[in-house]
C-alpha cells in the first residue's frame, strides 16, 4: 500500500485579486509577506514574495512557508505599480494589511481592487 508524502505543517496562504474597475482578475500584482516582530522595538521581517497569476490568484510563494510560525503578518500588494502598468492613475501606491496567522491553518485573502478604493476580507 502506497503512503502519502507528509504535508507541510505551515499555513497555506492564498489570495485572489479582482480589478473591480474592469471586472477582470488583477494579473501580475507583486505581493510580499512580512512578519511583525513586536519586541523590543516593532519591526517587520521579510518572509516571501510572489506575483498573482493570469487569474489574479496567489497560489504559491518563492519559499516554502511550512516554517512560518503563528503571529502577526503583513501582506503588501503593489497595487500602484499594477495600475501604472495599465496606464491608470490610482490613489494607493500599495495596499498593506496585517493579519493574525496560526500555524497549520489555511488563509485566503480576497482583494477587490479599484484605483480609488479596495475591500478585503478573510475568505475560505
Residue list for the binding site for substrate:
16, 57, 121
**102: closest CA among 55, 69, 67?**
69
Q: Where are the alpha helices (DSSP H) in the chain?
A: 79-85
**107: closest CA among 93, 96, 121, 95?**
121
Q: CB–CB of 78/95 below 8 Å?
A: no
Binding site per annotation, positions: 16, 57, 121
Grid cell at residue 13: 496562504
Amino acid at each position: 500500500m502506497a503512503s502519502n508524502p507528509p504535508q507541510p505543517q505551515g499555513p497555506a496562504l492564498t489570495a485572489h485579486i479582482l480589478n473591480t474597475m474592469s471586472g477582470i482578475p488583477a494579473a501580475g500584482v507583486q505581493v510580499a509577506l512580512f512578519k511583525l516582530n513586536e519586541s523590543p522595538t516593532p519591526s517587520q521581517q521579510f518572509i516571501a514574495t510572489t506575483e498573482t497569476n493570469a487569474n489574479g490568484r496567489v497560489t504559491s510563494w518563492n519559499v516554502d512557508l511550512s516554517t512560518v510560525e503563528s503571529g502577526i503578518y503583513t501582506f503588501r500588494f503593489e497595487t500602484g505599480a499594477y495600475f501604472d502598468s495599465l496606464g491608470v492613475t490610482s490613489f494607493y501606491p500599495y495596499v498593506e494589511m496585517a493579519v493574525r496567522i496560526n500555524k497549520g491553518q489555511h488563509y485566503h485573502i480576497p482583494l477587490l481592487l479599484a484605483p480609488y478604493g479596495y475591500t478585503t476580507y478573510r475568505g475560505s
